A and B are shown apart, each in its own frame.
Chain A
Amino acid sequence: MPEFDPRRSGAGRAPAATLRLAGTGLGAALLLMMVIAAVGARSMLESAERSAWVEHTLEVLAASENARALLNRVEIGQREYLITGDAWRLTRSEILQREAGAAISLVGRLTAEIPRQQERVRELTALVVERQEIASALIEEKRRSGTAPGRADVARERRSRTVMDSTRELLDTMQKEERALLEQRSADLQVNREFALALVIFGSVSAMLVLLGAFALLRREISERLRAEAALARYADETDDLYNRAPCGYHSLDARGVIVRINDTELAWLGYARDEVVGKLLFRDFLTPDSRGVFERSFEAQKQSGVVPNLDLTLVRKDGTTLPVSSSASVIRDSDGRYVMSRSTVFDLTERSRLQQDLDRIFELSQDLVCVAGADGHMKRLSPAWERVLGHTVEEVIAQPFIDLVHPDDREATLAAFDHQLDSGESVISFENRYRCKDGSYRVLLWNSTPVPRDGCVYASARDITERKRDEEALLAAMQASEASNHELEAFSYSVSHDLRAPLRAIDGFSRILEQDFAEKIDAEGHRLLGVIRRSAQRMGQLIDDLLEFSRVGRKALSRRRIDMRAMADEVLRELVPADTAKQTSWQVGSLPDALADPALVRQVWANLLSNAVKFSGHREQPRIEVGSRNENGEAVYFVRDNGAGFSMQHSNKLFRVFQRLHGDDEFPGTGVGLAIVERVVSRHGGGAWAESLPDGGSTFFFTLRGKGEADGDA
């Protein structure tokens, strides 16, 4: 979902400007319509006026025509009277005369506003009066004379006709004037109507265009607003979603502490439905009594200060179980600074509490002396092991600079190490010093510590190595003693070899000189006895040599190298079996894996085993020696087999002991050291030696050499 920023709606132009523009457009359109309406109205009024004028003019024309007709009939009637003398004619003329007067005065009323016509009406009236006077005079004459008019009457009659003609002319002029006026007014009206029409059309089109523009603007604005509203709705949905599904709890409290809003997460923690809680329950209802106290105090303070730092609280769920949380809140106020509600964030501390518990246990249960030391040289926190090992209470240790507890001789080094690690940030590994116990004795502590210079503290753990140290010292003393005794032994061996051999050499040498220089004076028995002396001396010399060799094998430092065992066995055999007897002794060397061992010592093993084989099979007509190997559990087992004298297995336990022999010296000469040397060499290599044999059935001697690569190269 693309990110939405409600501030960006309105696509470039500020909505206010758009609205202003649309408003201006609408205003202009309105004004135009008003103008059009005014023009229209005026046009209508003018049209009505024109109609009135036309009617009026027609009335004037009709009235004047009527007046003309009446006047004619009056004149005709009077004339007929004059001719006939019929009175009724005269009467009718008098009636018509009055009607004509009424018609003329009607014309006068109708043309009241036109001075020229009024003038004419007056002239007309005057002409009518003049003619009437003439007519009256004539009629009087008639009545009096009862005859046709005389000469004077003819003049009067002529005059009457002239007046009558003037009257008619005047009426014509008036009618003509009225008609001209009508035409004039109609033309004026036409011009006005066309102008009004043009104005209305132009105004309407303009107003329509302006309206269309305003409409387009409004439409765009509206669609943008709709879009913005949709986006806002989406945004609101998303915010709602975030609010509700946040990994932490949110709630808002009113001034009384009633929950007015709460998110799904916190509801789920508590196990309640929203409508059970919102507006109904107080937040304090969800707290354990202890937490309630903590909360109430901070809630009051919070209303004043506006913020609440992290509070560790314990919530009680619907099912009665508890949940450790950390809550922080901020207060929302209205514009007058009055409390509206507080908004809180709640974090689940279950995992943290468990970790904390583990950490505490590690700390509390540690056998080592764990501590946190501050840069001020005081311990800040100590594990209970301190009290157990040193006897001081934790408070006692914390109360004094820790250096006071360090042995005076160790203080300088301790402080140097402490300061260095705070300066450098480097850990100190295996630092040793002594701490004073409650009883005044000292314990040796072996320290590993890591500084956190930023926090100005050092995390350290120490192990009480007093006993180990004591053991080490004892071991060292024992080793020194052992070394001393080894030296003694060496000195002893040296003097044995030197001092014991010299007399033996003298015994042998002088016996020999006796044999040589006094040969005639000594009889056969004397020579035999001298021979016994010499053999004994030589045998003792051999014993001493072997014993020294045995001792040397035990003392020599091992230097392991890869050994081609087959080549070595082969070489030793060739040296042991003289060329002339090789024909009689049949021997074969099978495949032997290489060994990683001390070549000089292993050579000694081969020499001793093979010389034994040669020696003990020497009596056989067909001496046979076989050298081989086999693999037992991945370990190379070498063996030397002969078909010689053999021995009883019940004595096999003595085989590898020094000076132990299973055969008499007369039968098979030897000192009984060879196999003891073999055993010592292989056991020094971590291997072993053993034998299988039957009396007179030959023997097989086995040995192993434990060492890397010994099973390799099985070629």
Chain B
Amino acid sequence: MATHEPIEILLAEDNSADAELALRALRDSRISNTVIWVKDGNEALDYVLRRAAYRDRATGNPRLVLLDLKMPKVDGLEVLRALKSDESTRSIPVVVMTSSHEERDLVETYRLGVNSYIVKPVDFEQFVAVVASAGYYWSVVNKVPA
């Protein structure tokens, strides 16, 4: 897979345990060779929009953004709103991964144009399965405009 073009996934997750589990799930399922993990919404936007610490990164949008909603500084909804309201980033698939099944979050994220909304299961096997299938679908199967 190393010869393939890098499939870049941005993981925005403030909880390091959840992040590690997600990274392991993505690694075990061998979907991505490049997962960029940011710990808050601001950093996520910095990365996508090539700002601040990521000013010099190579051009191009991540293939997928896995986004936690409850994050310090800038929360997931704001990141989603920013990405979906910007012409250049609107086509990036965004999968919201959250601990809770909150109706109003669900409604709000869909209103903002989320591509998928996933409740992280407590059970690790289920968690791996969910993350892997969502990651696989959105970063490999799904096609986005170049």
Q: A510 an interface residue at 8 Å Cβ cutoff?
A: yes
Residues on the A chain within 8 Å of B21, using CB: 505-506, 509-510
B124 and A509 contact, CB distance less than 8 A: yes
Q: Which of A273-281, A496-504, A639-647 contacts B (4 or more CB under 8 A)?
A: A496-504
B122 and A504 contact, CB distance less than 8 A: yes
A502 and B24 contact, CB distance less than 8 A: no
Name the CB-closest residue of B to A552.
B103
Give the interface residue-count category, chain A: 20 to 34
Name the CB-closest residue of A to B102.
A494
B29 to chain A, nearest CB (A): 14
Q: B144 an interface residue at 8 Å Cβ cutoff?
A: no
Name the CB-closest residue of A to B70.
A498
Q: A537 an interface residue at 8 Å Cβ cutoff?
A: yes
Q: A384 an interface residue at 8 Å Cβ cutoff?
A: no
Q: A512 an interface residue at 8 Å Cβ cutoff?
A: yes
Checking A497, A498, A508, A513 against B24 with a beta-carbon cut-off of 8 angstroms, the contacting residue is A513
A505 and B122 contact, CB distance less than 8 A: yes
Interface of chain A, main secondary structure: helix
Q: B15 an interface residue at 8 Å Cβ cutoff?
A: yes
A509 and B99 contact, CB distance less than 8 A: no
Give the interface residue-count category, chain B: 10 to 19
Q: A538 an interface residue at 8 Å Cβ cutoff?
A: yes
CA distance A498 to B119 in the complex (A): 10
Q: B127 an interface residue at 8 Å Cβ cutoff?
A: yes
Using A498-B70, A510-B17, A513-B24 as known contacts, say yes or no to A505 and B120 having CB atoms under 8 A apart: yes
A541 and B122 contact, CB distance less than 8 A: yes
B127 and A509 contact, CB distance less than 8 A: yes
A537 and B122 contact, CB distance less than 8 A: yes
Q: B121 an interface residue at 8 Å Cβ cutoff?
A: yes
A558 to chain B, nearest CB (A): 15
B125 and A505 contact, CB distance less than 8 A: no
A508 and B101 contact, CB distance less than 8 A: no
Name the CB-closest residue of B to A496.
B100
B76 to chain A, nearest CB (A): 11
Checking B100, B103, B121, B122 against A498 with a beta-carbon cut-off of 8 angstroms, the contacting residue is B100
Q: B32 an interface residue at 8 Å Cβ cutoff?
A: no
B99 and A538 contact, CB distance less than 8 A: no
A585 to chain B, nearest CB (A): 26
Residues on the A chain within 8 Å of B121, using CB: 505, 541
Q: B123 an interface residue at 8 Å Cβ cutoff?
A: yes
B100 and A505 contact, CB distance less than 8 A: no
B100 and A541 contact, CB distance less than 8 A: no
Residues on the A chain within 8 Å of B127, using CB: 505, 509
Using A506-B18, A506-B21 as known contacts, say yes or no to A501 and B102 having CB atoms under 8 A apart: no
B101 and A497 contact, CB distance less than 8 A: yes
Interface string of A503-541 (1 = CB under 8 A from B): 111101111110000000000000000000010011011
Residues on the A chain within 8 Å of B98, using CB: 498
CA distance A506 to B20 in the complex (A): 9
Residues on the B chain within 8 Å of A499, using CB: 99
Q: A548 an interface residue at 8 Å Cβ cutoff?
A: yes
A541 and B123 contact, CB distance less than 8 A: yes
A538 and B18 contact, CB distance less than 8 A: no
Using A502-B15, A506-B17 as known contacts, say yes or no to A512 and B124 having CB atoms under 8 A apart: yes
CA distance A511 to B122 in the complex (A): 12
Name the CB-closest residue of B to A513.
B24
B123 to chain A, nearest CB (A): 5
Residues on the B chain within 8 Å of A511, using CB: 124
CA distance A595 to B46 in the complex (A): 54
Using A502-B18, A513-B24 as known contacts, say yes or no to A508 and B122 having CB atoms under 8 A apart: yes
Residues on the A chain within 8 Å of B99, using CB: 497-499, 501-502, 505
Checking B70, B102, B103, B122 against A538 with a beta-carbon cut-off of 8 angstroms, the contacting residue is B122
Which residues of B in the span 19-69 have a Cβ within 8 Å of any Cβ on A? 21, 24
Name the CB-closest residue of A to B22.
A509
CA distance A503 to B123 in the complex (A): 11
CA distance A540 to B123 in the complex (A): 11
Residues on the B chain within 8 Å of A501, using CB: 99-100, 120, 122
Checking A498, A505, A540, A552 against B17 with a beta-carbon cut-off of 8 angstroms, the contacting residue is A505
A519 to chain B, nearest CB (A): 15
CA distance A136 to B127 in the complex (A): 221
Residues on the A chain within 8 Å of B123, using CB: 508, 538, 541
Using A509-B124, A512-B125, A538-B122 as known contacts, say yes or no to A497 and B17 having CB atoms under 8 A apart: no
CA distance A664 to B100 in the complex (A): 28
Most chain A beta-carbon neighbours within 10 Å: one of B15, B103, B123, B127: B123
B100 and A497 contact, CB distance less than 8 A: yes
B121 to chain A, nearest CB (A): 7
A603 to chain B, nearest CB (A): 16
CA distance A510 to B128 in the complex (A): 12
CA distance A296 to B47 in the complex (A): 112
Residues on the A chain within 8 Å of B103, using CB: 552
Which residues of B in the span 99-146 have a Cβ within 8 Å of any Cβ on A? 99-103, 120-125, 127
Residues on the A chain within 8 Å of B102, using CB: 494, 497
CA distance A102 to B15 in the complex (A): 204
Residues on the A chain within 8 Å of B122, using CB: 501, 504-505, 508, 537-538, 540-542
B109 to chain A, nearest CB (A): 14
A502 and B101 contact, CB distance less than 8 A: no
CA distance A501 to B17 in the complex (A): 12
Residues on the B chain within 8 Å of A505, using CB: 17-18, 21, 99, 120-122, 124, 127
CA distance A499 to B69 in the complex (A): 12
A298 to chain B, nearest CB (A): 85
Residues on the A chain within 8 Å of B15, using CB: 502, 506
A544 to chain B, nearest CB (A): 8
Residues on the B chain within 8 Å of A540, using CB: 122
B77 to chain A, nearest CB (A): 13
Residues on the B chain within 8 Å of A542, using CB: 122
Name the CB-closest residue of A to B21.
A509
Interface string of A378-391 (1 = CB under 8 A from B): 00000000000000
Name the CB-closest residue of B to A503.
B17
Name the CB-closest residue of A to B69.
A498
Interface string of A248-260 (1 = CB under 8 A from B): 0000000000000
Residues on the B chain within 8 Å of A534, using CB: 124
B125 to chain A, nearest CB (A): 7
CA distance A511 to B123 in the complex (A): 11
Residues on the A chain within 8 Å of B70, using CB: 498
Residues on the B chain within 8 Å of A509, using CB: 17, 21, 124, 127
A677 to chain B, nearest CB (A): 15
CA distance A494 to B125 in the complex (A): 24
A276 to chain B, nearest CB (A): 95
Name the CB-closest residue of B to A515.
B124
11 contacts between A and B (CB under 8 A): A501-B99, A509-B17, A510-B21, A511-B124, A512-B124, A512-B125, A534-B124, A540-B122, A541-B122, A548-B100, A552-B103
- Contacts A502-B17, A505-B127 supplied; 11 other A-B pairs, CB < 8 Å: A494-B102, A497-B101, A501-B99, A502-B15, A502-B99, A506-B17, A509-B127, A538-B123, A541-B123, A542-B122, A552-B103
**Which residues of chain A have a CB within 8 Å of any CB of chain B?**
494, 497-499, 501-506, 508-513, 534, 537-538, 540-542, 545, 548, 552
Instruction: Rank and list the top 4 A-B pairs by shortest CB-CB distance, nearest first.
Output: A541-B122, A497-B100, A506-B17, A512-B124
